[in-house]
Amino acid sequence: MAERRVLWLGLGLMLLSAGFLVWQIRAPYGFILELRAAKLGALICVGAATGAATVLFQTVAGNRLLTPGLVGFDALFVLLQTVLVAGLGGVGFAQIPTAPRFLIEAATLGGGATLLFGLLLRRDAQDVMRMILTGIILGVLLRGSAEMVQRLMDPSDFAVVQQAMFASFGAVDAGQLGVSAVVLLAALALSLRLAPALDVCALGRDTSRGLGLHHDRLVMIALLLMAAMVSVSTALVGPVTFLGLLTASLARHLTGTHRHAVLIPAAALLGALILVAGQFLFERLLGSASALAVIVEFCGGLTFLFLVLKRRRR
Amino acid sequence: MRVWAIALVALAALISVSLCLGAANLDGEGWLLTVSRIPRTMAALLAGAGLALAGVVVQQVVQNRLVEPSLTGAPEASMLGLLAVTLIAPGMAVAGKMLIAAACALLGMTGFLALARRIPREDPMLLPIVGIVYGGILGAVCVWFAWAKDLVQYLGAWRLGEFSGVMMGRYEWLWAIAALAGLLYLVADRITILGLGETQARSLGLDYGQTRALGLVVVSVITALVLVTVGAFPFVGLVAPNLVARWRGDNLRANLPLVAVGGAALLLAADVIGRAIRYPFEIPAATVIAVFGAGVFLWLLHAAPGARHG
Amino acid sequence: MIEINGLSYRIDGTKILHDVTMRLESGGITALIGPNGAGKSTLLHCISGLETPERGTVRIDGLDPFAAPARDRARAVALLRQSPALVSRLSVRELVGFGRWPHHQGRPGAADRDAVDRALGAFALADLAGRSIATLSGGQRQRAFIAMTWAQETPWMLLDEPLNALDPRHARDLMARLHALSRDAARSIVIVLHDINAAAGWADRIVAMKAGRIVAQDACAALLTEDTLREVFDTPFELLEHRGRKVVVAR
């Protein structure tokens, strides 16, 4: 049943993508198709990465209201990149080829995320609300720090960071998209392999350890995978706070299962579906491309409030 | 008395640094002092004191010390009102803008209080979370509105408060905060009693609804004054009252002046650091205070409640 | 004397109090007992004038708590609500001092300071006076709040389940203290109790409520019968005598 819904989601995404590519297409076909394909690829990558990363993170944190974006892991990525530019200088940074740079950044983010998680979030596993609040404020701190470092930099270096950070859907670097897609697919495949273990992990640390799971090791691997996926989405389009929450909540609701083998693909597909459909709607039909991110934040925020208040009533 | 000596010496040191710090040399340029440096220093002091006092009032009203005006949707609602004014009546006098900004802030806070009513007080962490997300939703509406109507540059100036544009003739509205601070000091006992909760406050003969309304109006006006003149600053209203309370307790009759001085010193320090750290360029005070305030917030979340005092 | 006449109260269409009529004599401790949801707290809040009933009147020594100015009301009756879950950094002395608010409205005089000292002494808080209430144990914090209510020096003091967070020793201490104080200071205390034995041990009079109505009202010894208790709580009880006191055991 749940599996079939995932198939339907995949089918929907394919149809929508086709529509996105050919809707009202005019000459020069080749050029426009290429442009649209790059954009489509970015949207799918970002949506899928955000959805899957959120499911992983929620399982590891044992909390369905937390998302990597809310905790500020995307801000951590921005901060790392900024520090890298500040350290190497704009020219030096630009000389590192895309693929190794990306991998280094993702790995560093994974390390940073694991550290932060262990230091601040793990301790509060019993006190859910404190953990969420800690995460949110941590996000504010990281975003502020990134901005601070950016302001401290040379104006020319700052331009490099800005270019690296705030590439919009409109101007996707084909090389970066290629690397992102490869990293994302690898991370997704690995997460799916881990799915049965993640099902056990979701029962909580004590229970899963009792069942013979190497809980802490699994958490670390999951956080690394999450970091890779967050890097993909942040590098491509910059921070989107609430997309993950929207996607993961919808995925759980739609599939009605706890099995990660279903949840992860469902969330990935839903994330991609939301972004492609949203972009299609706003850019082609309503003619205001920039509104998508804002609408996602708006709906995501409402979802969050709804979930929090519903939680209290029980 | 020792407390006051420490606070005032620190404040005096900050003020003198702020007056001397700038791209131009002061020798023989006395006019610079009166036209730019003094107004800038005063603006930071007044805005900081106002935000700290507003923070105390909000914390007492919702009985939660992890909340402050910028976590209640008040600034975002205010910005929405200001955007509307800019669109409909761009030539409106400053007084009119202030009034509309304050009214919208009050409206935004009323919405937050309606949400707060549905949340049990036993879980103090939940309320700030709801406040942050509520503010985020209003903020998303702001951004969307600004984009649609091409007003993004206004929004940027409001969201990231700073003092680099403060000059004589452009900050004097902030002096109203001094009057509001005096008013709050007169009703300090009542505000403390608000913090005991509605039942207990009314059992003590306090007119709860009226006192709360007065407090919220003062908070809205302060929010609007600061926002329109120098922009929004996060966490000042959270950090200053909490640090004072941990150190000196919750009796506002005794501590309200200290809270005001603390907030003033905090924001001025943020401005001075923002000016000094990458001299002669400037970092907005809001950025500095966001990093520092978030750090203190994290500490407050995890530190044990303070021990004895007084 | 508190006179209650035809008092009805309703929340969201559900009737909490049904036409309650009774008189509470001045002096000593009157205990309000009854099962959960009987309307004890609501009745207490209505008497104190903090909840406005749908119908009916209340007179506290002749004063109408709904019509009187808030300040006069707060000098006639003091209410402590159930488990004030307040975590504040007010010191104990500052908290108790707010009990004098209805008297001085912000300008405390020597008489107010004396009253605070008396209240601190009465509840054995003198040593804790400088401590912030956030750092007190549950029992100490409850005492501090009761002392604040006591410092209001009203003829009537209404306490809503003050024993809630207390262990048996602290509960016994508090009841003994209230018992002695109400006699010494000639003040009347109305107290909602969950523990029937606390009522049996320390109350002068008992009012038993059930489903928003007064079921029985009498002197302590006269009211505590197996029949009455079964009627009120819908469960059988056994009454034992121990050192001249009645002890109630659920069967």
Mean per-residue pLDDT for C41-65? 91
Pairs from A293-297 (Cβ < 8 Å, separation ≥ 24):
A293/A240, A294/B140, A294/B143, A294/B144, A294/B147, A295/B140, A295/B144, A296/A240, A296/A242, A296/A243, A296/A246, A297/A240, A297/A241, A297/A242, A297/B136, A297/B137, A297/B140
Q: Is the dihedral of CA A161, A167, A172, A177 positive or negative?
A: positive
Among B129, B287, B290, select the one facing A151 at the smallest CB separation: B287
| Chains B–C, number of C-beta pairs less than 8 Å apart | 92
Q: Which residues of chain A have pLDDT under 70?
A: 1, 120-127, 161-173, 239, 287-291, 311-314
For the cut 70, the answer to whether the pLDDT of residue B215 exceeds it is: yes
Q: Mark out the alpha helices in chain A (DSSP H runs).
A: 2-22, 29-61, 68-71, 73-95, 98-116, 128-152, 155-165, 174-201, 205-210, 215-237, 243-255, 260-279, 291-313
List of domains in chain A:
2-313 (1.10.3470.10)
Using one digit for the tens of pLDDT, what is the confidence trace for C172-211? Answer: 999 999 999 999 988 999 999 988 899 988 999 999 999 9
List of domains in chain C:
2-84+154-250 (3.40.50.300)
pLDDT of amino acid A123 = 64
HEC profile of C31-74: EEECCCCCCHHHHHHHHCCCCCCCEEEEEECCECCCCCCHHHHH
Is the separation of the CB atoms in C183 and C10 below 8 Å? no
Would you call C89 helix, strand, or coil by DSSP? coil
pLDDT of amino acid C120 = 95
CA C79 to the chain's CA centroid = 7
Compute the distance between CA of residue B226 and CA of residue B223 in angstroms, rounded to an integer.
5
Q: Which residue of B has its CA nearest to C74?
A: B205
Question: C with B: 3 or more CB pairs under 8 Å?
Answer: yes
Mean per-residue pLDDT for C226-249? 87
Compute the distance between CA of residue C214 and CA of residue C237 in angstroms, rounded to an integer.
19
pLDDT of amino acid A74 = 79
Q: What is the ipTM of this complex?
A: 0.84
pLDDT of amino acid A291 = 67
Domain boundaries, chain B: 42-300
Compute the distance between CA of residue C218 and CA of residue C26 in angstroms, rounded to an integer.
14
For the cut 50, the answer to whether the pLDDT of residue B310 exceeds it is: no
pLDDT of amino acid B309 = 37
pLDDT of amino acid A163 = 63
Using one digit for the tens of pLDDT, what is the confidence trace for B136-177? Answer: 999 989 988 888 888 888 888 888 898 988 888 889 999 999
Using one digit for the tens of pLDDT, what is the confidence trace for B240-296? Answer: 999 998 888 888 888 999 999 999 999 999 999 999 988 778 889 999 999 999 999
Mean per-residue pLDDT for B32-55? 93
For the cut 90, the answer to whether the pLDDT of residue C113 exceeds it is: yes
Question: A with C: 3 or more CB pairs under 8 Å?
Answer: no
Compute the distance between CA of residue B260 and CA of residue B60 in angstroms, rounded to an integer.
16
Is the separation of the CB atoms in A234 and A74 below 8 Å? yes
What residues in A contact B116, CB-CB < 8 Å?
none
Paired sense of beta strands C14-24 and C213-219, if any: unpaired
The encoded tokens of residue B128 equal 């700030």
For residue C78, list its beta bridge partners.
Answer: C157
pLDDT of amino acid C37 = 87
Radius of gyration of chain A from its Cα atoms, rounded to whole angstroms: 19
Determine whether the interchain pair B129/A147 forms a contact, defined as Cβ–Cβ distance below 8 Å: no
For the cut 50, the answer to whether the pLDDT of residue B37 exceeds it is: yes
Determine whether the interchain pair B136/A120 forms a contact, defined as Cβ–Cβ distance below 8 Å: no
Length of chain C equals 251
The encoded tokens of residue B63 equal 């009985």
Mean per-residue pLDDT for B64-68? 91
Using one digit for the tens of pLDDT, what is the confidence trace for C6-15? Answer: 999 998 888 8
Model pTM score: 0.85
What residues in C contact B309, CB-CB < 8 Å?
89, 91, 130, 132
Preferred mutation among B127, B204, B255, B300 to probe C, highest tally of C CBs within 10 A: B204
CATH, domain range B42-300: 1.10.3470.10
Using one digit for the tens of pLDDT, what is the confidence trace for A172-185? Answer: 667 778 888 998 99
